[in-house]
Amino acid sequence: PPTARSRGRGGGGEWVGAQASGSVFWTCWGRIRSCQLGSSVVTDVVKGLLDPRGIAIDRARGRLFWTDYRAGKVQCANLDGSRMCDVATGLSSPFGIAVGPNRIFWTDRKQGAIYSACLRKGSVRKVLDGLHQPEGIAVFNSAGGHAFDTE
């Protein structure tokens, strides 16, 4: 069966599980792949990406979000790969990504910063800077879905 590393260079990429659909998703060599848990059948969900790194799932909306390091983008699609779109473009070096209740957050290695975008309006803002090449990111929401609802 295929294997995926938690974060690797040379195409290993990141991986994340989707409890809702019983699948695991990961980035690998210019694409996003998935596999049903308990199966060895691997499917290309999204192809034609330059260098996808971070990946996160918004279970409530049934969407995948990922960073593309070389393209300088944060993108998203439905869990089946349909309705792919750009969330943010013209970025320096987006790397890790996490989904909050109303915003997505990503790290930018070259900028040494964390950015976010509103899931409803798409507005992007810098959350924190002065960091040294941040990579992974996670969001902990202790307010029951309202911690990041500022717009």
pLDDT tens for the chain, residues 1 to 151: 333 333 333 345 555 554 446 889 999 989 999 998 888 899 999 999 999 999 999 988 999 999 999 999 999 999 999 999 999 999 999 999 999 989 999 999 999 999 999 998 889 999 999 999 999 999 987 655 444 433 3
- Rounded to whole angstroms, how far apart are CA atoms 123 and 118? 5
pTM of this prediction exceeds 0.85: no
Residue 144: which residues within 8 A CB-CB, separation 6 or more?
none
Q: What is the CA radius of gyration of the chain?
A: 15
Backbone angles phi, psi at 65, to 5 degrees: -125, 145
- How many residues comprise the chain? 151
